[in-house]
Structure 1
Amino acid sequence: MNRLSLTMIATVLTLSGAAFAQDFVQSGTSAKLPQTEGEAIYNAICSGCHMPDGSGAVGAGEYPALAGNSNLEVADYPIYLIIHGQKAMPPLGDYLDDAQVAAVVNYIRHNLGNDYEGDTDADYVAQSR
């Protein structure tokens, strides 16, 4: 294959992942996201906008970087945004259970260039709803 074909295939695969995330959140084709691990949840629904490395993006909207983001130091902030949404960020509280929210919050707080102390759990997320 030539480079142009490989580039086109890579673009289609990347966009289809983002499209899946967008479709999942907007269409309601599934009651709940099946992934349970934080990284898998991030890759399924967050990385399409925030990028796989958490660097964020600007295009049809502005998607903040999660990598090195000091707003993630306290778990309450990402818990609230994930459950309720804000601006271009759709609310995911109906699609993720408390354990899934905790898993993805812990993932973004301890990865993507972040190393914040402490973990959250499903009980804390439930209290935050």
Structure 2
Amino acid sequence: MTTLSIKSTYLKQLILDNIPDVHFNKPLQKSKPEQVLSTKTKETAVAMVMDCSQIKEEIQVLMKAAQILQKKISASPKWKFQGSSDSYTPPVMLYMFCRQLIQGRKTIQTERKDAAI
């Protein structure tokens, strides 16, 4: 055992004995030194990574919805304003999406109950 490894082992033990809530992390590359982390810091970092992956999934869902709506809007007949919007009917999917986005599910469920009565 080299003097350097004895010193690092002793230092590591001193840190473990005197600092609560500490964790040593060995990197994948052997040429890099161990990292000293707080367990709380590690948990926070893991939570942040999980949140980022969840956000990425949500963004992918929103991007897919945007693509679908864009296709529906492009496929709908062109509309030219002629002084009144009474004759205009928006693309159904766009209308339903905007309605859901603005009003939420409660309004739609309430209207369904009213229609059933």
TM-score (norm 1): 0.27
The structure with higher relative contact order (CA 8 Å, sep 6+) is 1
Computing the radius of gyration from Cα coordinates, the structure with the larger value is 2
Q: Compare the two structures and name the one with the higher helix fraction.
A: 2
